[in-house]
Amino acid sequence: MAIIEVKDLVKTYKIMEKKEGLIGYFKNLIKPKYREFDAIKGINFSIEEGELVGYIGENGAGKSTTIKILTGLLTPTSGSVSVNGIIPNKNRIENNKNIGAVFGQKTQLWWDLPVIESFSLIKKMYKIPENEYRKNLKRFTEILDLGELLEKQVKNLSLGQKMRCEIAATFLHNPKIVYLDEPTIGLDVFVKENIRKFIKDINKEKKTTVILTTHDLRDIEDVCNRIILLDKGQIIYDGDKQKFKDSYGKYVIAELIIKDKKKDIVLNDAEILEQFENKLKIKFRHDETTIVKIMDEISKFCNIEDIHMKEEELEDILKEIYKGAHKC
Ligand SMILES: Nc1ncnc2c1ncn2[C@@H]1O[C@H](COP(=O)(O)OP(=O)(O)OP(=O)(O)O)[C@@H](O)[C@H]1O
Ligand SMILES: [Mg+2]
């Protein structure tokens, strides 16, 4: 049975229509007018235990709204959500025992306390057995390099240091499911890599189910094997990451080292991204032409010394989808 089941989920927010000026201010107070906005428009998905799912989409697509519903912070307008057999908004305390959540910049640690004290409080709150706590603390300290941070007050930590502690705190009670809503925002590449490795290691070791929301698509490339792509409150793709890339990544980028260029290169089947005396960068659709044909065309202008090809990355494909160039 799926560990997360979402059926026909709708979330409608009520937004107050603000009237301007002093009279408007009083009108707002006396008789506020509301309009409705559907942030989630009837979505369905189910997630099996141990999956690493990238939940992605443009700003305002409805990702955080979904995660807040899954954690029980928000109530669905209609439809149903089940997390490990529990309806989150109806049984938040029970649901909290099974889950961990990181919401971007918000902290679950106690601001004025040293990190280790926050961890001790979490141990008490979740009744984590002593040996389990010790084991996790040791392991997490190692992977996330927390050694020097444990005695520091949370308020004195840098953003990256805080997020490493935050991630450790989230996994301390061995949650079955972890929601990470933009855990790598604003972090340097090393901390990002550190966090990605941690998520992968723990998922492998403990079969933790992870739903990851991020705008850094390298997080998804590195960590997730499935993606759910949300667009204005609707799911437009749900499936294997590689299949997604195979189906929608129609372009190939090729970098060529050239010499003896006779004149400016002009190509029919490929777009020229850059051209210099000894270097050429092109982009072409692999379903419309082949590199052999293109090389044949290029060789009329120069000699080709070397070639390096790469497929479009997730980020490039999504840019095209957001622009409306590809339909899912
Ligand atoms: N409390 C609220 N009241 C009214 N509208 C809201 C509320 N919370 C979110 N929204 C709206 O719902 C839509 C979805 O918001 P949500 O925060 O879920 O998007 P998101 O996909 O997480 O975006 P981002 O990538 O920017 O974090 C947005 O248009 C947002 O303005
Ligand atoms: Mg969000």
Give the pLDDT of residue 326: 65
Q: pLDDT above 90 covers what percent of the chain?
A: 80
Taking the C-alpha atoms of residue 254 and residue 46, their distance in angstroms, rounded to an integer, is: 38
What residues form DSSP beta bridges with 282? 254, 272
Taking the C-alpha atoms of residue 200 and residue 235, their distance in angstroms, rounded to an integer, is: 25
Give the pLDDT of residue 86: 96
Average pLDDT of span 32-37: 88
**Binding site membership of 16 for ligand 1 (Cβ less than 6 Å):** no
Average pLDDT of span 100-128: 92
Among 221-225, 244-248, 304-308, the minimum mean pLDDT is found in: 244-248
Q: Which ligand has the nearest atom to the CA of 215? A: 1
Show the CA angle centred on residue 316, arms to residues 311 and 322, nearest 5°.
145
Strand order in the sheet with 52-56: 99-103, 177-181, 209-213, 52-56, 226-231, 234-240
Give the pLDDT of residue 110: 93
pTM of structure: 0.87
Return the residue whose CA atom lies nearest to atom 26 of ligand 1.
59
**Binding site membership of 11 for ligand 1 (Cβ less than 6 Å):** no
> Best mutation site among 37, 40, 71, 220 for ligand 1, i.e. most ligand atoms within 8 A of its Cβ?
37
Give the pLDDT of residue 1: 80
**Binding site membership of 13 for ligand 1 (Cβ less than 6 Å):** yes
Return the residue whose CA atom lies nearest to atom 9 of ligand 1.
65
pLDDT bucket at 311, cuts 50 / 70 / 90: confident
Give the pLDDT of residue 21: 83
Which one-letter DSSP state was computed for residue 297?
H
pLDDT bucket at 40, cuts 50 / 70 / 90: very high
User: What would the pLDDT profile of 214-226 be if each residue is shown by its tens digit?
Assistant: 999 999 999 999 9
Furthest-apart CA atoms within the chain: distance in Å: 79
Higher-pLDDT residue of 196 and 248 is 196
Classified as helix, coil or strand, 62 is coil
Provide the pairing of β-strand 99-103 with 234-240.
unpaired
Q: Is the pLDDT of residue 164 over 80?
A: yes
Domains and CATH numbers, the chain: 48-246 (3.40.50.300), 250-311 (3.30.70)
Give the pLDDT of residue 213: 96
Give the pLDDT of residue 33: 83
**Binding site membership of 62 for ligand 1 (Cβ less than 6 Å):** yes
pLDDT bucket at 25, cuts 50 / 70 / 90: confident
Name the strand (E) or helix (H) holding 221: helix 217-223
Give the pLDDT of residue 251: 86
Return the residue whose CA atom lies nearest to atom 4 of ligand 1.
13
Atom index in ligand 1 nearest the CA of residue 182 equals: 27
Give the pLDDT of residue 325: 60
**Binding site membership of 14 for ligand 1 (Cβ less than 6 Å):** no
Show the CA angle centred on residue 230, arms to residues 247 and 75, nearest 5°.
150
Beta strands in the chain (DSSP E): 4-16, 34-47, 52-56, 78-83, 99-103, 177-181, 209-213, 226-231, 234-240, 251-259, 271-275, 279-285, 303-311
User: What would the pLDDT profile of 251-282 be if each residue is shown by its tens digit?
Assistant: 899 999 999 999 999 999 999 999 999 999 99
Average pLDDT of span 152-168: 94
Show the CA angle centred on residue 66, arms to residues 63 and 67, nearest 5°.
90
pLDDT bucket at 107, cuts 50 / 70 / 90: confident
Return the residue whose CA atom lies nearest to atom 30 of ligand 1.
60
**Binding site membership of 249 for ligand 1 (Cβ less than 6 Å):** no
Average pLDDT of span 63-76: 96
What residues form DSSP beta bridges with 13? 37
